[in-house]
Amino acid sequence: MNNLPLNKLSLSLFGGALLGAGLLSNPANADVHYEGDIHVLHYLYDSYDYWGDRVGPVYTYGWCTIDLYGITVTEDSTIIFDTLSYNYFAGYMAPKIMLFSGLISHRFSTDNYIAGAYIGPPQGFDTNGSISTADAFMEVFLTRGTYTLAVGTGWFSIDDLAGAPDGDPPFALGVVYHQQHVLPGYSGHYELDILGPVIHPTPGALALIGMAGLLSSRRRR
């Protein structure tokens, strides 16, 4: 089943109404799939091609967004988090994922941190066709409850998440890449699969975390 990322305006604006009407949900014990983009809010520098002509950045370094997803685990189980991005899409990144207990959009700390990953399993053992071990993969046993997953470039940390003011979306220094010089180099696309008995959207999660999309869209270059 396909779901949009929480930081998309469509979900931010309409997700709560759909949840209230019982129209937006996935059944228990179902895998979920997301697609999203990490954006460079403020770039610090771009790379050049090998001949010194600036025809478009091969990569862009700067302050990048971090996406947050709220999920509910419906039964004690091993849950797989699998990303797909690196060298797979025209604009891509090296994803990093961090998992926290509870539904939170700020006040991240080591107290609610559970696990994280910035590399994948040996090639051929992923679930989504990654062509690089730079795609983060994580397998974690979780008890029933609510959780927040943060997705960003490979450099973000708990401190970056914790440093965001209340109600403000987190961001961190990072790099996004693209394969064709003619494309803009300011976003990296990714896919995320969560495999196991989970429900998303989690009731209340859109109202809590969805505002990141509204704020992020206003701060983009």
pLDDT of residue 29: 52
**Whether 38 contacts 152, CB under 8 Å:** yes
Weakly modelled stretches of the chain, pLDDT under 50: 1-28, 202-221
- Three-class SS of the chain: CEECCCCCHHHHHHHHHHHHCCCCCCCCCEEEEEEEEEEEEEEEEECCCCCCCCCCCCEEEEEEECEEEEEEECCCEEEEEEEECCCCCCEECCEEEEEEECCCCCCCCCCCEEEEECCCCCCCCCCCCCCCCCCCEEEEEECCEEEEEEEEECCCCHHHHHCCCCCCCCEEEEEEEECCCCCCCCEEEEEEEEEEEEECCCCCHHHHHCHHHHHHHHHCC
Q: How many domains does the chain have?
A: 1
Instruction: Give the residue numbers spanning the domain of 147.
Output: 2-19+26-219
pLDDT of residue 55: 55
**Whether 129 contacts 51, CB under 8 Å:** no
CB count in 10 Å sphere of residue 35? 15
Q: What's the rounded Cα separation, in Å, for the pair 185 and 39?
A: 9
CB count in 10 Å sphere of residue 114? 14
CATH code at position 150: 2.60.120.380
What value, to the nearest 5°, has the Cα angle with vertex 179 and ends 177 and 184?
65
Sequence-distant (6+) residues with CB within 8 A of 106 are: 161, 162, 164, 165, 166, 167, 168, 170
pLDDT of residue 51: 53
Sequence-distant (6+) residues with CB within 8 A of 80 are: 127, 137, 138, 139, 193, 194, 195, 196
